[in-house]
Structure 1
Amino acid sequence: MDLSLVIIIVCVLAAIALVVVFLVFGRSEANFTFDIGGASPRASGGSDSSTEKTSSSRLVGLAAMVGTAFSVLVARLWSMQLVSSEEYAEQAERNRTSTVYTQAPRGRILDRKGREIVGNRPSLTVVASSDVLDDEVEMTLLANLIGMPMQAVRRKIQDTTEGQQSMRTVSVDVSRRVVAFIGEHRELFPGVDIQERTQRSYPHGSLAAHVVGYTGTVTSEQLEASANAGDGEVVYRSGDIVGQTGVELQYESVLQGVRGEQSVYVDADGNVLEYSTNIRPQSGSDLVLTLDLDIQQAAEDSLARVMKQLQDTGYEAEGGCVVAMDCTNGEVIAMASAPTFSPNLFIGGISTADWDALQDEKSHFPMMNRAIGGQYPSGSVIKPLTSFAALDYGIANTGTTWYCPGWWTWTGDPNGLPYMKCWWESGHGTLDLADGITFSCDVVFYEIGKGFYNADNSQGMQETFRRYGLGSKTGIDLPGEEPGRVPDPDWKWDHFKALGYSDEDCTWKGGDNCNIAIGQGDLLVTCLQMVTAYCSIANQGPVWRPHVMKGVRAQVGDGLITEYKNEVIRTVDEDQAFRDLVARGMEGVVYREAESQTIHWTNLDVTVRGKTGTAEQSTGNPIGWFIGYAPAENPKYVIGANMDRVLSGATSSMYVVRDVFGAIYGQPDTAAASTSGNAD
């Protein structure tokens, strides 16, 4: 309605109002009477209640009501035309237009050499128009053809998340048989069509599954969070496919493309009349990771093989993990966790049966990335850090020696308490601190724990552990990292008081110090934390933040438009004499502790320094550890592994670390592995 029309309407209404006023007030003689005899007229006077007077009053009231109503109408028309015209025009435009959305292909995930870890593949998809809801026969035939319950087909066609006028997704990855049948019987499926879309592709199956993660339909929490997204952030619509774990989630804004939008004009019944603007979908950017597919494959193969060998000899060996890092920049070149899972299970939506199987405790939690989310006692791999603590705080020096008879008590009396055994029950004899590391003598480290308990700074060990990053997250660019735990008197009191223990049981004791000195008690670490701590030992101070992103690839060419900015997150200062002592002890672990270990390293050209570890758990099932770095003279790589429910680190995780070093340097382990023995 334009302004001229409003003026015409106002004029008409004014005219009508004038007519009504004339009819009411124009005949004033109704208020006079005449004398029959012809005398001059005179006013009738008095309170006239004649019918003429009553009708006149009623007409006046009606005129007032009509005038008021017309005034309101005119005011409203003026408001609609002049004040809110733009708003109503926008509403009218929205009512006659609709938008159909098209998902954009996600960016690929590549390894450091540009090889595809996760890609996209064509997917034949059955779609149906909303009209199919009105045809029970067509829905029944479609349900039977694709093998889906009738009610499920109905729900999918009722889903409008891709737009009111869009075709509704019914089934993805349908067979060629279904496509051919629909094509040959168009008369039976007038509202059904086949579209070629894209789905996530995993050419290497479960390889690096815990790092890359998986995708799924956007959750209500993600929708709510995206509603408040800032500039440049992804805003989701219900039904979008988004990253749920791993790199797919961490770098969602990089991998998620820009959805396509097709504007259409519709009639009052929602039928498409014509098409308007069209924005084509834009693919997400390719993400290049620091992983090396060859090293990653070697890590996963070794984990699976060693676990199988242990299981065949009677050990449960239910899970394990391995992390290989470039200690000069923090790049993670391999990260594996076992048991694993296949991201293919989540394409098109995971079934309830598959999800329950992945969550079943009997399957040993395949969804958990043990490398960053598994928290375990460290066992003897903590002893290099305990040694630095003892040297830094004067509990020991480079010349201190101890005698190990195979047992230990607080007073040295064999009948005293607490009575604790060394893992080598026949005793190691006299050792200095370097030999204490090499032979992993528990007695040496019990004495260090006792020394701290009696020292002025009784928490020197905890302070050292924290300086090396234990008890806090590393900040790796992956979701799900856990912080571990460095226990101290305050933590013990608060924790056990909350559980209802007595004051005596909540009080820190000397035995607590002895336990954490050997990586037992309430100390918890992740594999990534320990690898990062050993990076500081290898680098003689600096620690680079671990990361799996290398950069974002350009749309054209192989170059990177964005690269990860390497960052030193801490530098741990130590006296050079202390570093030399610990290095000597760790080299002895590899080449002196046991011949059964050494034979696996002498067939590798580079010199390796490392540490074995076996940690008891409250369940009584040991965690076997090994962490090493090479080349010893100029360290480049730090590799750490642990394995659950095994005999020891030397008979489990050490083989995995050796295999990964072998993949890096092209020198596989030629010595036969032995899953029996008593080395720590």
Structure 2
Amino acid sequence: MRSGAHGGRLVVLYVVVTSLMLTLLGRLWYLQVTTGPAYARAATESRVRTVPLPSVRGQILDVHGHPLVANQTMPQVSVDYMALIHQPDGGRAVLTRLAEALRKPYQEIADRARLCSREVPRPCWPGSPYQPITVADDVDPRTVVRIAERQAEFPGVSTALRPVRTYPLHKAGAHLLGYLQPPSPSDRSGGPDLVGRDGLEAEYDTELAGRTGLREVAVDSTGKVTGLLREEAPHPGDTLVTSIDARIQELSERALAKAVTNARKRGEPADSGAAVVLEAATGRVTALASYPSYDPAVWSGGISQRDFEALPLVSNAVLGQWAPGSTWKVTSTAAAADAGYKLRASYDCPGSYKVGGRSFRNFDGIALGRMNMHRALVVSCDTIFYRFAERMWKHDGGLKPVRHPADPMQSMARKFGFGNRTGIDLPNESPGRVPDRAWKKANWERTRADSCRRAKTGYPDVADRKRAAYLKALAAENCQNGGVWWAGDAANFAIGQGDVLVTPLQLARAYAALANGGTVFSPRVAKALVRPDGSVVRTVTPPVTGRVDVSRRTLRYIRDALADVPREGTAAAAFKGFPFKRLAVAGKTGTAEAYGRQDTSWFASFAPAKKPRYVVVVVVSQGGTGASTAAPAARDIWEGIYDLHGKAHHKHAKKHGKKTTAGKHRHGHSRKAPRDASHNASHRASFEPARVGDAR
């Protein structure tokens, strides 16, 4: 009996052991036979790293073939991050010897060789650890040879001749051109070692970069490279030909900087600004200047986090937004005409006009008497536009608006392209703002809770008690009635104040539409992309995005009025002594108020007035009146474009090593202007801008 029980237990034990063995064998079979290839493939893949081989990046040229961004071959010293960290001391000894050879501080080299992270500030390497990390640019050739000859002392260090981006215009056009940086470590696309981060470099990055080569290397479990598996050669990028005129770009930058300097001498803060030059008939960009600027050569070396954060990287021409002031009146005039108001009728221009129980004043409260709309634009009467706006507001129902308000002024502003991005071939463009009833209500709903809270608590954080009291009263008003479109909102809108916002590029596009008869373009900087062999990949043409749907007679009336602004209107002082017989400039000043800040100075213009070729817009934030700051800068740009002082030919030709002939255009005509060149076809060359050093 006892032996039978013992035998039963052995049987159970045999069954259990057999089951475990079968389970183990089954698992081994599954791992080795069924999933074995997948594990083998994963193991192989984990031991392969792809390193991109950079191609030669395409140049960026101006409209005459002069380089805006070029490549210059320079000796560079790079380190292999993975090779360094696998050394016993993490590569410290190698970097110490390298710093001594380069005659640079050890910390400078070490900082550039480390990987960027949230805890590691610039300078650092933001790219892949498997890419060569450049730690020194433009190294003396003899130093390069010494490092190469003593390779045993510098394991993980390499030297090579590599193309480096150069910027012949230096600060001029920095925001327009953009800059390059290594791709982030998360980018596993096998792309180039440098990618465009802003401007044209970013917008046309794929075409400029070409086709990146690749090198596949085998690495061990620690990440150390053990061999080369495969390599594909890179292909150079395309050249980008732009509509930018390098000479006009430079003179626009100088004129803008001069305007800022002069404004500061008068006590204005003048903290930023922009200048835009467009071809009126095509929408092509001739110049796009932004202040303050910086020298993009800073990207070719290491840059500290502090210096990086201090760089003025915002392009005020496409990102800056300000109230346009009286430059906006061209849209309001077109809206008034479209609504049935006679432009040639006589209107009173009192010093102030009461709207909704509040007096809205002319500039300095000056009464200017009766006038037609031509004169109203020339002297920039505000009160006539207040009256138009109030009547249109009432026609739409006032505080009890009709179901579908016409909003003539907002509608006309949108026809000119305001309130939407222009679509220019540059990244990060601002949309501007055309406020109306719907916008104000939506904005009120978003901000009502905060307004009501501030109406109770006030602004104890604001040191200026007068300003704090004003803000508290404003918050109380917005808490209760912030969503109402008042008659005062309409009045402010009519003269480009209140909540209206435009970018300098948007204003330039609108004035181009006024100048060319109503065509609204989406501006373009690029003209063509060209392969390394010289064949054209594609041409770039600014698309038409809209029409200003008003009569040609109305547009011509406004243009004629603006032609008198520099001669006898608000810009007359800025254009005193200007040779109008050689170049008839038409334009409009703008002085936009902003609470807590000084006035924004604007001048928008086009020329020649009878047959406009270019549009020039200048803005200086906190620069004072439009006549005192922006208009003189625009005058400098016009004088430079058409070389009215006869200086550009010699300066630009000397810069590019050209021979010059005194007093001659490139067509051989004398620079002496005809009595009325705008009406004399035989002297058309007098109206051509000074295209010196033309490489076409």
TM-score, normalization: structure 1?
0.78
- Which aligned pairs between 1:314-333 and structure 2 lie closer than 5 A? 314-333=267-286
Whole-angstrom distance in 1 between the partners of 2:408 and 2:423: 25
Counterpart for residue 635 of structure 1: 612
Q: Structure 1's 127 and 195: CA in aligned 2 closer, same or farther, altered over 3 A?
A: farther
Counterpart for residue 567 of structure 1: 543
Does residue 383 in structure 1 map to residue 359 in structure 2? no
Does residue 193 in structure 1 map to residue 158 in structure 2? yes
Preserved contact between residue 327 and residue 544 of structure 1 (Cα < 8 Å): no
Does residue 512 in structure 1 map to residue 470 in structure 2? no
Counterpart for residue 544 of structure 1: 521
Does residue 449 in structure 1 map to residue 389 in structure 2? yes
Of 90, 97, 112, the residue aligned with 1:141 is 97
Does residue 111 in structure 1 map to residue 46 in structure 2? no
User: How far did residue 504 of structure 1 move?
Assistant: 3.8
> What does the per-residue CA deviation read over 1:162-196, in whole Å, with 9 as the maximum and x for residues that have no partner?
575x7655444555675466357555334433233
Preserved contact between residue 553 and residue 560 of structure 1 (Cα < 8 Å): yes
User: How far did residue 566 of structure 1 move?
Assistant: 2.9
Q: Structure 1's 546 and 47: CA in aligned 2 closer, same or farther, altered over 3 A?
A: same
- Which aligned pairs between 1:218-237 and structure 2 lie closer than 5 A? 218-219=183-184, 223=186, 235=189
Q: Give secondary structure in 1 for the equivalent of 2:641.
A: helix
Q: Give secondary structure in 2 for the equivalent of 1:612.
A: strand
Does residue 593 in structure 1 map to residue 569 in structure 2? yes
User: How far did residue 84 of structure 1 move?
Assistant: 5.9
Does residue 344 in structure 1 map to residue 297 in structure 2? yes
Does residue 124 in structure 1 map to residue 76 in structure 2? yes
Q: Structure 1's 339 and 139: CA in aligned 2 closer, same or farther, altered over 3 A?
A: closer
Counterpart for residue 242 of structure 2: 289
Query: Identity of paired residues, percent?
Result: 29
Whole-angstrom distance in 1 between the partners of 2:629 and 2:28: 89
Preserved contact between residue 237 and residue 531 of structure 2 (Cα < 8 Å): no
Counterpart for residue 652 of structure 1: 629
User: How far did residue 274 of structure 1 move?
Assistant: 5.5
Preserved contact between residue 160 and residue 168 of structure 1 (Cα < 8 Å): no
Of 349, 352, 367, the residue aligned with 1:404 is 349
User: How far did residue 199 of structure 1 move?
Assistant: 2.8
Whole-angstrom distance in 2 between the partners of 1:213 and 1:298: 20
Counterpart for residue 581 of structure 1: 557
Q: Structure 1's 582 and 89: CA in aligned 2 closer, same or farther, altered over 3 A?
A: same
Counterpart of 1:533, as a letter, is A
Whole-angstrom distance in 2 between the partners of 1:492 and 1:318: 29
Q: Structure 1's 622 and 189: CA in aligned 2 closer, same or farther, altered over 3 A?
A: same
Of 375, 378, 392, the residue aligned with 1:435 is 375
Whole-angstrom distance in 2 between the partners of 1:318 and 1:56: 95
- Which aligned pairs between 1:474-513 and structure 2 lie closer than 5 A? 474-497=422-445, 498=447, 499-500=451-452, 501-513=478-490
In structure 1, runs of 5+ residues without a counterpart are 1-45, 228-234, 359-365, 412-416, 671-680
Whole-angstrom distance in 1 between the partners of 2:223 and 2:412: 69
Preserved contact between residue 322 and residue 501 of structure 2 (Cα < 8 Å): yes
> What does the per-residue CA deviation read over 1:608-658, in whole Å, with 9 as the maximum and x for residues that have no partner?
222111111112411111111122222221111111222321222122222
Question: Whose radius of gyration is greater, 1 or 2?
Answer: 1
Counterpart for residue 414 of structure 2: 466
Whole-angstrom distance in 2 between the partners of 1:160 and 1:657: 41
Whole-angstrom distance in 1 between the partners of 2:606 and 2:230: 59
Q: Please provide the CA RMSD for this pair.
A: 3.6
> What does the per-residue CA deviation read over 1:449-481, in whole Å, with 9 as the maximum and x for residues that have no partner?
222222245621111111211111111111121
Whole-angstrom distance in 1 between the partners of 2:482 and 2:125: 59
User: How far did residue 502 of structure 1 move?
Assistant: 3.6
Counterpart for residue 368 of structure 1: 314
> What does the per-residue CA deviation read over 1:224-279, in whole Å, with 9 as the maximum and x for residues that have no partner?
xx67xxxxxxx356x94222111122222222233332344667887766544321
Preserved contact between residue 132 and residue 191 of structure 1 (Cα < 8 Å): no
Counterpart of 1:438, as a letter, is V
Q: Structure 1's 58 and 434: CA in aligned 2 closer, same or farther, altered over 3 A?
A: closer
Q: Give secondary structure in 2 for the equivalent of 1:324.
A: strand
> What does the per-residue CA deviation read over 1:572-596, in whole Å, with 9 as the maximum and x for residues that have no partner?
1212332332222112212222642
- Which aligned pairs between 1:186-335 and structure 2 lie closer than 5 A? 186-219=151-184, 223=186, 235=189, 240-264=193-217, 275-335=228-288
User: How far did residue 316 of structure 1 move?
Assistant: 2.5
Q: Give secondary structure in 2 for the equivalent of 1:628.
A: strand
> What does the per-residue CA deviation read over 1:505-525, in whole Å, with 9 as the maximum and x for residues that have no partner?
542222222211111122111
Whole-angstrom distance in 2 between the partners of 1:502 and 1:59: 84
Q: Give secondary structure in 2 for the equivalent of 1:444.
A: helix
Whole-angstrom distance in 2 between the partners of 1:337 and 1:325: 15
Number of residue pairs matched by the alignment: 594
Counterpart of 1:605, as a letter, is R
Q: Structure 1's 669 and 517: CA in aligned 2 closer, same or farther, altered over 3 A?
A: farther
Whole-angstrom distance in 1 between the partners of 2:552 and 2:17: 107
Q: Give secondary structure in 1 for the equivalent of 2:106.
A: coil
Preserved contact between residue 659 and residue 669 of structure 1 (Cα < 8 Å): no
Preserved contact between residue 406 and residue 427 of structure 1 (Cα < 8 Å): yes
Of 22, 30, 35, the residue aligned with 1:68 is 22
Q: Give secondary structure in 1 for the equivalent of 2:598.
A: coil
Preserved contact between residue 271 and residue 622 of structure 2 (Cα < 8 Å): yes
User: How far did residue 295 of structure 1 move?
Assistant: 0.8
Counterpart for residue 32 of structure 1: none
Q: Structure 1's 427 and 668: CA in aligned 2 closer, same or farther, altered over 3 A?
A: farther
Counterpart for residue 39 of structure 1: none
User: How far did residue 549 of structure 1 move?
Assistant: 1.5
User: How far did residue 302 of structure 1 move?
Assistant: 0.8
Counterpart of 1:615, as a letter, is A
Q: Structure 1's 173 and 453: CA in aligned 2 closer, same or farther, altered over 3 A?
A: same
Q: Give secondary structure in 2 for the equivalent of 1:427.
A: coil
Counterpart of 1:523, as a letter, is V
Preserved contact between residue 218 and residue 240 of structure 1 (Cα < 8 Å): yes
Q: Give secondary structure in 1 for the equivalent of 2:594.
A: coil
